[in-house]
């Protein structure tokens, strides 16, 4: 670990892509002011982000463009540097400007840790958990078994961390000379991106994220607890893409939702998802090195799935057929098409969708691999700890308890078509999605 040196401060932004409500940026600013140094914000863009597709990059770059503008108003330069390895890119930039310290945000994912090791080898690197309300390592020092073990720990610490953010102020020492503005058209071109954000239902960037959250708070939070599991209703918040890219701070969302007048049961249910479930996913990826493998499942689930490896599978589909959404299960196909078409599958369907993969593939390993690949390729909020935890929950009983033993699943909780029919109007969902899918396919083959 290198002590902070004399030299400019660099905030290496990666996961928390926003100016307001960002503890990592606030810390970098504080350091710069304290040491009478200028501050720059760097984003190290890699074309090799695992499973990221052009439409994810387009969404992200539009958000970054807004961020560059906000920073310029504060007199803070924003640099977009491209390179295969963000750790290398950042170390190179830090050397170029003679950085005294690099501040970065937190991610529990393997590749992000490796990037950081590269920077920390040569520079003082200060990591600030700007993504979680109770910082991941403070919330718990170990892998938690389930929401029931993490929840009381978070409750005890929440009042200390769920606070209002201070404002972001311009640094005292200006960066000179101020670097030229980013050429965003060139950035899109070099990443091979054609056009801008292609999602019709969501606008990228912190401003749209704050507006989207406000609308949810005023119009849809009441009743969330009762209807969030019905995929025919737009009852979920729709915040996950903005939370994933850091356009919106979970702490801001929790702070405002907690003090919003109205439906207490709805508030509690929403905060349980946003705070407990989300931070449980971070805990899983941070403390379970095998967060994307069978070996990361709890021991009872591994043993039980092992005992059922030889069970007969009624249908075995190859990945292409699964990806095309051409199985015998109309609900599953609708869920898959919803994900491919919109980049966001409803939360209830995600569980059903992942569990079916266990029935239709030769092994739990194959189910997990295909599930992660499709989730990350198609979900706008994919490539996130929530995805790793969601798949490990569905296929491997992570954060769940053993259920009654049955074929293939062993003691891992099972979900059936019949169960879905009892919860919501499956026929209506399938009809609606099929119509939307046909229209979408037509639009793709004839864009004009
Ligand atoms: P809301 O219901 O409005 O919830 C608000 C926020 O709470 C979400 O944005 C999210 O941050 C958090 N949250 C809600 N449910 C969960 C949950 N089960 N676990 C952790 N956090 C939760 N979420 C992702 O963000 N990215 C993924 O790639 C992802 N993949 C999943 C895969 C599977 C198989 C499963 C079962 C779940 C997955 N989830 C994932 C979790 C959850 O389904 C989504 O976060 C949620 O549907 C997003 O929609 P929303 O923002 O409208 O949710
Ligand atoms: N972060 C980066 O620092 N550089 C990137 O090039 C980058 C690309 C990217 C693409 C898709 C996506 O979903 C996220 C992306 N991120 C990128 C941000 C990313 O969320 C976090 O750095 C990781 O999730 C770490 O947890």
C-beta 44 within 6 A of ligand 2: yes
pLDDT at residue 45 in the model:
98
- Stretches where the chain sits below pLDDT 70 are 447-448
Peptide bond connecting 229 to the previous residue in cis, omega within 30 degrees of 0: no
Nearest-CA residue for ligand 1 atom 24 is: 386
Please tell me the number of the ligand nearest to residue 221's CA: 1
Per-residue pLDDT, 262:
83
Tell me phi and psi for residue 11, to 5 degrees: -95, 115
- How far, in Å, is the centroid of ligand 1 from the Cα of 236? 9
Specify the pLDDT at position 197.
84
Residue 150: per-residue pLDDT: 98
Ligand 1 centre distance from Cα of residue 300 (Å): 25
Question: 7 CB less than 6 Å from ligand 1?
Answer: no
CA of 52 to the centre of ligand 2 (A): 8
- Give the per-residue pLDDT at 18: 98
CA of 173 to the centre of ligand 2 (A): 30
What pLDDT is stored for residue 447 in this prediction?
58
- Is the pTM for the entire model greater than 0.85? yes
Ligand 2 atom nearest the C-alpha of 17 is 18
Residue to probe by mutation, ligand 1, list 199, 212, 222, 240, most atoms within 8 Å of CB: 240
Choose one of 54, 58, 60 to mutate for the ligand 2 pocket test, by most ligand atoms within 8 angstroms of C-beta.
60
Ligand 2 atom closest to residue 246's alpha carbon, by position in its atom list: 20
Q: Is the CB of 283 under 6 A from ligand 1?
A: no
Asked whether 144 lines ligand 1 (CB < 6 A), one says no
Q: What is the pLDDT of residue 95?
A: 98
Ligand 1 nearest-atom number relative to CA 280: 20
Which atom in ligand 1 lies closest to the alpha carbon of residue 250? 11
Q: Is residue 241 within 6 Å of ligand 2 at its C-beta? A: no
The finding on whether 86 has its CB within 6 A of some atom of ligand 2 is yes
pLDDT at 196: 81
Ligand 1 centroid, distance to 273 Cα (angstroms): 8
**Residue 379 Cβ < 6 Å to ligand 1:** yes
Per-residue model confidence as pLDDT tens digits over 92-118: 999 999 999 999 999 999 999 999 999
Verify whether ligand 2 is closer than 6 Å to residue 383 (CB atom): yes
């Amino acid at each position: 670990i290198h002590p902070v040196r004399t030299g400019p401060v660099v905030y290496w932004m990666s996961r928390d892509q926003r100016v307001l409500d960002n503890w990592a940026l606030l810390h970098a600013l504080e350091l710069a002011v304290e040491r009478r140094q200028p501050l720059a914000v760097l984003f190290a863009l890699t074309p090799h982000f695992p499973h990221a597709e052009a439409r994810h990059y387009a969404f992200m770059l539009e958000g970054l463009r807004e961020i560059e503008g906000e920073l310029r108003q504060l007199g803070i330069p924003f640099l977009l540097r491209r390179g295969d390895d963000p750790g290398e890119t950042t170390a190179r930039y830090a050397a170029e400007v003679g950085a005294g310290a690099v501040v970065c945000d937190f991610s529990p994912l393997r590749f992000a840790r490796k990037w950081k090791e590269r920077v920390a080898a040569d520079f003082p690197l200060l990591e600030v958990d700007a993504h979680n309300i109770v910082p991941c390592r403070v919330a718990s020092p170990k892998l938690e078994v389930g929401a029931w073990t993490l929840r009381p720990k978070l409750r005890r610490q929440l009042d200390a961390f769920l606070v209002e953010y201070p404002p972001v102020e311009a640094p005292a020492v200006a960066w000179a000379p101020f670097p030229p503005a980013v050429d965003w058209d060139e950035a899109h071109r070099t990443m091979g991106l054609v056009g801008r954000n292609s999602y019709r239902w969501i606008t990228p960037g912190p401003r749209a994220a704050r507006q989207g959250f406000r609308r949810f708070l005023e119009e849809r939070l009441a009743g969330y607890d009762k209807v969030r599991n019905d995929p025919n209703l737009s009852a979920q918040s729709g915040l996950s893409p903005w939370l994933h890219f850091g356009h919106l701070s979970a702490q801001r969302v929790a702070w405002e939702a907690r003090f919003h007048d109205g439906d207490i049961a709805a508030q509690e249910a929403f905060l349980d998802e946003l705070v407990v479930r989300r931070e449980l996913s971070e805990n899983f990826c941070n403390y379970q090195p095998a967060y994307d493998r069978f070996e990361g499942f709890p021991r009872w689930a591994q043993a039980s799935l092992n005992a059922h490896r030889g069970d007969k599978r009624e249908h075995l589909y190859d990945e292409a057929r699964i990806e095309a959404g051409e199985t015998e299960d109309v609900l599953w196909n609708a869920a898959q098409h919803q994900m491919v078409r919109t980049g966001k599958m409803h939360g209830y369907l995600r569980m059903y969708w992942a569990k079916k993969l266990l029935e239709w593939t030769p092994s739990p390993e194959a189910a997990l691999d295909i599930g992660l690949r499709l989730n990350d390729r198609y979900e706008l909020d994919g490539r996130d700890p929530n995805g790793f935890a969601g798949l490990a929950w569905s296929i491997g009983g992570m954060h769940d308890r053993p259920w009654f033993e049955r074929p293939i699943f062993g003691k891992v909780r099972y979900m059936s078509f019949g169960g879905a029919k009892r919860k919501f109007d499956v026929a209506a969902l399938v009809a609606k999605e099929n119509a939307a899918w046909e229209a979408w396919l037509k639009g793709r083959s004839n864009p004009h």
